[in-house]
Amino acid sequence: MSVKFALLILMDKEPASGYDLAQRFNRGIGQFWQASHQQIYQQLKKMHEQGFVQFTVQKQQGKPDRKVYEITAAGEQDLNEWLAAQEKPPTVRDALLIKIYAASRGDPQRLLNEVQRHIQLHETQLVAHLQEEQQFFSANKTMQRKLRWPYITLRRGIRYEQEWIEWLKEVQICLVDDSLPLKPLRPSL
Amino acid sequence: MSVKFALLILMDKEPASGYDLAQRFNRGIGQFWQASHQQIYQQLKKMHEQGFVQFTVQKQQGKPDRKVYEITAAGEQDLNEWLAAQEKPPTVRDALLIKIYAASRGDPQRLLNEVQRHIQLHETQLVAHLQEEQQFFSANKTMQRKLRWPYITLRRGIRYEQEWIEWLKEVQICLVDDSLPLKPLRPSL
DNA sequence: ATAGCCATGTAACCAGTTACATGATTGA
DNA sequence: TCAATCATGTAACTGGTTACATGGCTAT
């Protein structure tokens, strides 16, 4: 559902083709919502049928034509309604957690490898986020207004990765030392 | 896909009816994978057709019959293969993040309300997790072996909620004070 | 009375994934 | 010559949600 509104937000900032929108999904919004180009084209088609977007065809030589989409008045209204609506926290679905939950079954060594692999994946992502963070600060000493909220959501991404790594390292330790005692995160009642 | 394996894990511990399994999904595994009773019944039916589970009917007076499912040898094998397979980190899809990303559009006050509502939701969840944590420690001073991994995954849930609250409070502050300067999470290169 | 628990399911729908398809240009 | 980028899409499938359906027992 939200792909629709993510697209409307992106093209509201600046009219764009499906291809452009797919690119922009990778940076910024891609951190907390991903969409394949197929899904984007499907969604754009649907929104066009429903009158939320319109497009103009730009001819190019040597390359396929671009359909440059922009939001319509109806689209704006729909977007504003969505922005005003309440959201429920997303449902988490994480297969690795199931495997760790059931760690007493199966081969601990294999799970350890998998956990270490995930630590690396999250560390790579963390580094990428931290590099992106620098770009928000590098240009000028004061951040531009319009970059403020994209940056704040990036901070969430950074913390998210850090928290994953911290916990996965704990899991790693527990897999190595089977009998290490754990203290409750909240020590007293 | 993983609902299937979550069900196999649960019934491997102890044979159970669809109803029981739906209950158990709420505690423990429900924290990182949820399934409605409808989905569970559908999945059980499918797995029975494919020979991964079998059931015996228990008649009850006054209540509908229970189908008590247990895992078959084929099911065990399938489960072991899945446990050995690699997983990719789950794709995050969070509509609230999109709204915060686009916070410069729309009404800041309304977004502030929504952010505060989410802080409360996460705080409620955090308290629930912390209460559950106590149950792991209350009974005996040393934790039982079989509860070790379920507890470790609970720790992840606790940290997850804490991290959310921390970040959402930052967002709250930024919504109130539009020009508060933010320091990078990684200060130096 | 009414709500909640016990216990089962089917049908329709929707969002998102995977596979398939085309075709020119540019750089290694 | 091979891979990558630009640029568009369709079709089939799958996992999960929502709506609908039944019906007795128990506690307030």
Nearest alpha-carbon partner for A40 in A26, A57, A59: A26
pLDDT bracket for residue B138 (50, 70, 90): confident
Distance spanning both ends of chain A, measured CA to CA: 42
Q: Rounded to two decimals, what is the model's pTM?
A: 0.94
Whether pLDDT at A71 is above 60: yes
pLDDT bracket for residue A1 (50, 70, 90): confident
Q: How many residues does chain A have?
A: 189
Torsion sign over Cα A96, A102, A104, A105: negative
Which residues have C-beta within 8 Å of that of residue A34, sequence separation ≥ 6? A25, B91, B93
Which residues have C-beta within 8 Å of that of residue B44, sequence separation ≥ 6? B7, B18, B21, B53, B55, B67, B69
pLDDT of residue A140: 67
Asked if A6 reaches chain B (Cβ–Cβ under 8 Å), the answer is yes
Average pLDDT over residues B146-169: 97
Angstrom distances, CA of residue B17 to CA of A102, B35, B71? 20, 15, 12
Average pLDDT over residues A27-46: 94
Q: B123: distance to nearest CA of chain A, Å?
A: 12
Q: Which residues of chain A are within 8 Å of residue B189 when distances are taken between CB atoms?
A: 134
pLDDT bracket for residue A186 (50, 70, 90): confident
Nearest alpha-carbon partner for B68 in B81, B77, B59: B59
Cα radius of gyration (chain A): 22
Average pLDDT, chain B: 93
Residue B146: CB less than 7 A from any atom in strand C: no
- Which tokens sit at A104? 């007493």
Q: How many contacts does A have with B, using Cβ atoms within 8 A?
A: 217
3-state secondary structure of B14: coil
How far apart are alpha carbons B156 and A185 in whole angstroms?
10
Residue A35: CB less than 7 A from any atom in strand C: yes
How far apart are alpha carbons A106 and B81 in whole angstroms?
10
Q: What is the 3-state secondary structure (H, E, C) of chain A?
A: CHHHHHHHHHHHHCCECHHHHHHHHHCHHHHCCCCCHHHHHHHHHHHHHCCCEEEEEECCCCCCCEEEEEECHHHHHHHHHHHHCCCCCCCCCCHHHHHHHCCCCCCHHHHHHHHHHHHHHHHHHHHHHHHHHHHHHHCCCCCCHHHHHHHHHHHHHHHHHHHHHHHHHHHHHHHHCCCCCCCCCCCCC
Q: Please name the member of B87, B164, B186 whose beta carbon is closest to the beta carbon of A133.
A: B186
3-state secondary structure of B57: strand
How far apart are alpha carbons B44 and B8 in whole angstroms?
10
Q: Do B87 and A96 touch (CB under 8 A)?
A: yes
How far apart are alpha carbons B80 and A99 in whole angstroms?
10
pLDDT of residue B139: 65
Residue with more model confidence, A143 or B177: B177
- The CA angle B120-B122-B127, to the nearest 5 degrees, is 95
Which residues have C-beta within 8 Å of that of residue A151, sequence separation ≥ 6? A133, A136, A143, B182
> 3-state DSSP: chain B helix, strand, coil percent, rounded to 5?
65, 5, 30
Q: Please state, for a pLDDT cut of 90, what percent of chain A lies above it.
A: 84
The DSSP H or E segment spanning B16 is none
Asked if B146 reaches chain A (Cβ–Cβ under 8 Å), the answer is yes
Residue with more model confidence, B189 or A128: A128
Positions of chain D reached by protein Cβ under 7 A: 6-11, 14-20, 23-26
pLDDT of residue A59: 85
How far apart are alpha carbons A96 and B152 in whole angstroms?
13
Average pLDDT over residues A28-36: 93
How far apart are alpha carbons A17 and A60 in whole angstroms?
13
Asked if B90 reaches chain A (Cβ–Cβ under 8 Å), the answer is yes
pLDDT of residue B140: 66
